[in-house]
A and B are shown apart, each in its own frame.
Chain A
Amino acid sequence: MNGTIAWITARGLFGRRRFLLLFPLPVLLIGLVLLGRAADVSNADIADVALVGLGFSVVLPIIALVVGAGVLGSEIEDGTAVHILTKPLPRHEIILAKLAVAAGVTTVATAVPMFIAAALTDSVRLAIGVALGTALGAITYSALFLLLSLVSRRPVLIGLGYILIWEDTLVNLISGTRVLSVQQYALAVSDRIAGTDLLTGNVSTPVALVMAAVLTVASTVFAIDRLRSFTLAGETS
């Protein structure tokens, strides 16, 4: 991995105001669990509302979107990407460094609060399951949203559309759409590891793992190719 690119990417990520968006959601998640505990809500309801309804459906994908679309997308948007692209570096080196930063930051920013929230909800075993499922989701989402920032000038809008329309709505209405939902992979893996009734995975664990791997690799390979053909807009375009 290219350390210099990872360093600039991380500096860029933490230096932008968008980074502050990463904090309120995890705080909200843990707050909601604590509130449920204080109000004597059942573990099943806390898991359903806080861990699944807020954690897997909102916290994980939104943070992954902000980070994943930002690691390269914000540099493309403000034009600083040119400095990295005018180097004799194989394009996979650039994409892999960006992906590593996005996946790393998203995993830390989501798996840690999810672990705490799950531990507060029920048990450490649930917490481990939820954290690992979240990490899998973080990596897959990062690859997906990184690609999105290369194929569209509006990655956040399209990403939000995917999260809100596909994952949070269609998946509940049409069962076939679950196979293409990163959230469902994360849930399935968490469910399998935690081994409780508090979470219900809707796809099988092998399907979740294979699909997550396929999606991650395919997105990355496609992103590398797109970066090779990266164009700067001319004044007439």
Chain B
Amino acid sequence: MTTIELSNVSRWYGNVVAVNNITMTLGPGVTGLLGPNGAGKTTLLHMMAGFLPPSRGTVTVAGAPAWRNPSVYRILGLVSEREAVHGFLTAWEFVLANAKLHRLPDPEAAARRALSLVEMTEAQDRRIDTYSKGMRQRTRVAAALVHDPQVLVLDEPFNGMDPRQRLQMMDLLHELGAAGRTILFSSHILEEVEQVSGTVQVIVAGRLAASGDYRSIRRLMTHRPHVFSIHSSDDRRLAVALIGQPSVTGVELESTGLTVRAGDYGTFTRALPKIALAEGIRVRRLLPSDESLESVFSYLVAS
């Protein structure tokens, strides 16, 4: 099993602390590194990819230090944030050169496989500087995947992609994660992380603010009301019954249904079916309406 391990990692630039005492272990599957711009995501990724020494603590990839250790790139691929490619090469030349630099036994086959993974085979013979932003990004991903790495680190991989390319890239990351690769990608856009990965590491101001499944992170923060949108056979009667519950802190009655604020997630979700049954009301729809990363994130930043 290939893991990235960070142990008490800090990184500072002069007086500015970019990463503050972070410990985490990233295993197979897709993990999203989430945080606002300037939170220290890129600094963290650069330390994992061997492009920055930690000021304190250790960063290892598959047990070996990442810093000053080029052999780590045998198992690690990096897609950096800067959209830099050799524009004077074609995608084929570029990915093939990457395969050769890895000293792969069959560089042509590896380049073909990587280009087809990102669906760039058709355009592979055009110079990279004629590509759209999304195509360049996919070419860079192909280059990072050419040696079939166990670990793939991507810094803001969805930047500049149109919705279709975004979905395609999300599918690719899903597949790689499901195939047992350790995939870590950073993003400041919550819905991207929400769609691609169940596991989230949230970085705020250089600190690890939360870690784990994003729904459970949300549930942990019980001091915040959870908002549900409910539609039932008799919304008004359900509203009356719900407001009597200690776990409910507010109910709004609207034409489309009820918006219920619950102080405690578990108690409320257990109580609701019992109330509905007792009142003879049929619940047609129950949606946790704030269960998006956006709200998880704003809570974390606020707290």
Whether B18 lies near A237 (C-beta < 8 A) is yes
Report A-chain residues with C-beta under 8 Å of the C-beta of B174: none
Output the nearest chain A residue to B41 by Cβ-Cβ distance: A235
Whether B143 lies near A234 (C-beta < 8 A) is no
Taking a contact as CB atoms closer than 8 A, the residue among A2, A5, A88, A90 that contacts B74 in the complex is A88
Instruction: Report the bound CA distance from A78 to B129 in whole Å.
Output: 14
Given contacts A12-B86, A80-B85, A80-B86, contact A232 B144 (CB under 8 A): no
**How far, in Å, is B248 (CB) from chain A's closest CB?**
43
Interface string of B3-45 (1 = CB under 8 A from A): 0000000010100101000000000000000000110111100
Kindly specify which of A35-43, A57-65, A223-231 makes contact with the partner chain.
A223-231
Instruction: Report the bound CA distance from A235 to B40 in whole Å.
Output: 7
Report B-chain residues with C-beta under 8 Å of the C-beta of A5: 101
**How far, in Å, is B151 (CB) from chain A's closest CB?**
12
Given contacts A234-B40, A236-B13, contact A229 B73 (CB under 8 A): no
The answer to whether B240 has its CB under 8 Å from any CB of chain A is: no
**How far, in Å, is A180 (CB) from chain B's closest CB?**
31
Taking a contact as CB atoms closer than 8 A, the residue among B42, B74, B82 that contacts A79 in the complex is B82
Within 8 A of A (CB), among B65-79: 68, 70-74, 76-78
Instruction: Report the bound CA distance from A229 to B94 in whole Å.
Output: 25
Whether A232 lies near B80 (C-beta < 8 A) is yes
Output the nearest chain B residue to A16 by Cβ-Cβ distance: B88
Taking a contact as CB atoms closer than 8 A, the residue among B51, B88, B89 that contacts A231 in the complex is B51
Instruction: Report the bound CA distance from A45 to B72 in whole Å.
Output: 59
Interface size on B, residues (CB 8 A): 41
Whether A234 lies near B102 (C-beta < 8 A) is no
Report B-chain residues with C-beta under 8 Å of the C-beta of A234: 11, 13, 18, 40, 42-43, 46, 52
Whether A235 lies near B89 (C-beta < 8 A) is no
Report A-chain residues with C-beta under 8 Å of the C-beta of B219: none
Report A-chain residues with C-beta under 8 Å of the C-beta of B144: 86
Output the nearest chain B residue to A3 by Cβ-Cβ distance: B100
Within 8 A of B (CB), among A1-34: 2, 4-5, 7-8, 11-12, 15
The answer to whether B201 has its CB under 8 Å from any CB of chain A is: no
Given contacts A80-B86, A86-B49, contact A4 B40 (CB under 8 A): no
Whether B70 lies near A89 (C-beta < 8 A) is yes
Report A-chain residues with C-beta under 8 Å of the C-beta of B150: none
Given contacts A236-B38, A236-B43, A237-B13, contact A83 B52 (CB under 8 A): no
Interface size on A, residues (CB 8 A): 30
The answer to whether A213 has its CB under 8 Å from any CB of chain B is: no
Whether B101 lies near A232 (C-beta < 8 A) is no
Report A-chain residues with C-beta under 8 Å of the C-beta of B53: 229, 231
Whether B13 lies near A82 (C-beta < 8 A) is no
Instruction: Report the bound CA distance from A235 to B188 in whole Å.
Output: 13
Report A-chain residues with C-beta under 8 Å of the C-beta of B85: 80, 83
Whether B86 lies near A82 (C-beta < 8 A) is no
Report B-chain residues with C-beta under 8 Å of the C-beta of A4: 97, 100-101
Whether A90 lies near B70 (C-beta < 8 A) is yes
**How far, in Å, is B266 (CB) from chain A's closest CB?**
38
Whether B86 lies near A88 (C-beta < 8 A) is no
Taking a contact as CB atoms closer than 8 A, the residue among B38, B86, B97, B103 that contacts A235 in the complex is B38
Whether B102 lies near A87 (C-beta < 8 A) is yes
Output the nearest chain A residue to B37 by Cβ-Cβ distance: A235
Whether B73 lies near A11 (C-beta < 8 A) is no
Whether A87 lies near B18 (C-beta < 8 A) is no
The answer to whether B197 has its CB under 8 Å from any CB of chain A is: no
The answer to whether B84 has its CB under 8 Å from any CB of chain A is: yes
Whether B18 lies near A88 (C-beta < 8 A) is no
The answer to whether B259 has its CB under 8 Å from any CB of chain A is: no
Report A-chain residues with C-beta under 8 Å of the C-beta of B103: 88
Given contacts A4-B100, A234-B18, A236-B43, contact A15 B73 (CB under 8 A): no
Within 8 A of B (CB), among A78-103: 78-80, 82-91
Instruction: Report the bound CA distance from A187 to B40 in whole Å.
Output: 52
Taking a contact as CB atoms closer than 8 A, the residue among B51, B88, B100, B102 that contacts A232 in the complex is B51
**How far, in Å, is B242 (CB) from chain A's closest CB?**
46
**How far, in Å, is A74 (CB) from chain B's closest CB?**
11
Report B-chain residues with C-beta under 8 Å of the C-beta of A85: 51, 70
Whether B101 lies near A78 (C-beta < 8 A) is no
26 A-B residue pairings within 8 Å (CB atoms) = A4-B100, A7-B97, A11-B86, A12-B86, A82-B51, A82-B78, A82-B82, A82-B84, A83-B84, A83-B85, A85-B70, A86-B78, A87-B98, A87-B102, A88-B73, A88-B102, A231-B53, A232-B51, A234-B11, A234-B13, A234-B18, A234-B42, A235-B40, A236-B38, A236-B40, A237-B43
Q: Which 9 A-B pairs have the closest CB atoms?
A: A79-B84, A234-B43, A15-B88, A79-B82, A232-B51, A87-B101, A236-B18, A4-B100, A88-B74
Given contacts A12-B86, A231-B46, 19 further A-B contacts (CB under 8 A): A2-B101, A4-B101, A5-B101, A8-B89, A15-B88, A80-B84, A83-B84, A83-B85, A83-B86, A84-B101, A86-B78, A87-B101, A91-B70, A228-B70, A230-B51, A234-B42, A235-B37, A235-B43, A236-B43
